[in-house]
Amino acid sequence: MRGLAVRYGANLALEGVDAAVPHGAIVGLIGPNGSGKSTLLKAIAGAVPAWSGSVRFGGRPVRELAGRVAYVPQREEVNWEFPVTALDVVLMGRYRELGWLRWPGRRDRDRAEAALAQLGLGGLGHRHISQFSGGQQQRIFLARAMVQDPVLVLLDEPFTGVDVQNRQVFHERIQAFGKAGVTVLVATHDLDEVRAMTTHVLCLNRRMVAFGPTATTFTPANLRATFGGQVAVFEQLPVFEELR
């Protein structure tokens, strides 16, 4: 990401993002509400245009790899009454490779069902997406990401409103992506998760405040600069508590 900035109309939503993410890194995107985390993910995914700057992956414009960039949205952005089943949603991850004029075949269905089973939803692909809990709905979109054979995975607040079991499923899958050499960016308010599972941190507050390895970037000074008075930092204890 070089000099990346995004505008919504006359409003500058994000600017000054200049970072080179290592291949296979797990990056935590942190910042207060309205800081630009979701906007950054959407700009990388090509869902919103960059006002200035560029996003490249492996030296190529990221749009050239659109079929292998997996995006898991926030639950609030999904119409859960739309008439599709869990299996339908997962199979959407195969459409870029198949092309829009080809129907998924048996192999594609097998992969989709296997991804659901791997995430603890085996045999439930026939259910309408509204029949699942919030955490299970998030798992369905995670399964969609898995069948894309992604090189880059973008997760927008995957831990919000999910229980411990669903949180663990996401944690394990994110780690598996990283071990397979897949680059992962996770927007989250959960600072404990950032500290526990990421290799790098990108701090945002309408502009990039800091970026680097978690061990050297996830510091009280950078948290204060990012959150201001919205976060209480206990320097003598390994606790970072966000104030809501």
Q: How many domains does the chain have?
A: 1
Residue with tokens 């996003």: 55
**Environment class of residue 204 by beta-carbon count within 10 Å: exposed (0-12), middle (13-18) or buried (19+)?**
buried
pLDDT digits (tens, 9 = 90+) for 210-224: 999 999 999 999 999
pLDDT given at position 163: 82
The pTM is what? Answer: 0.89
* Helix (H) / strand (E) containing 109: helix 106-118
Q: What is the 3-state secondary structure (H, E, C) of 185-223?
A: EEECCCHHHHHHHCCEEEEECCEEEEEEEHHHHCCHHHH
pLDDT given at position 45: 93
pLDDT given at position 230: 60
| 127-151: burial string, b at 16+ Cβ within 10 Å, e else | eebeebeebbbbbbbbbbbbbbebb
pLDDT given at position 222: 95
Q: Is the confidence at residue 123, as pLDDT, over 90?
A: yes
Average pLDDT over residues 52-80: 90
Q: Please report, in angstroms and rounded to a whole number, the separation of the first and last CA atoms in the chain.
A: 30
For residue 243, what pLDDT band results from cuts at 50, 70 and 90?
very low
Instruction: Give the residue, 47 or 102, on which the prediction is more confident.
Output: 47
pLDDT digits (tens, 9 = 90+) for 187-210: 999 898 899 999 999 999 999 999
Report the mean per-residue pLDDT for the chain: 89
**Which residues lie below 8 Å from residue 82, measured CB to CB, with a gap of 6+?**
129
**Which residues lie below 8 Å from residue 112, measured CB to CB, with a gap of 6+?**
87, 90, 91, 93, 94, 104, 125, 143, 147
Instruction: Give the residue, 141 or 238, on which the prediction is more confident.
Output: 141
Average pLDDT over residues 156-160: 88
Q: What is the DSSP string of 43-92?
A: HHHTSS--SEEE-EETTEEGGGGGGGEEEE--GGGS-TTSS-BHHHHHHG
How far is residue 128's CA from residue 24's CA, in Å, rounded to a whole number?
34
Q: Is the confidence at residue 237, as pLDDT, over 50?
A: no
Q: Is the confidence at residue 12, as pLDDT, over 70?
A: yes
Instruction: Give the residue, 63 or 89, on which the prediction is more confident.
Output: 89
Range of the domain at 94: 2-242
Average pLDDT over residues 73-86: 90
Q: Is the confidence at residue 101, as pLDDT, over 70?
A: no
Q: Please state the length of the chain.
A: 244
pLDDT given at position 102: 64
Average pLDDT over residues 121-128: 95
pLDDT given at position 241: 47
Beta-bridge partners for 241:
232
CATH assignment at residue 133:
3.40.50.300
Average pLDDT over residues 159-167: 82
pLDDT given at position 70: 95
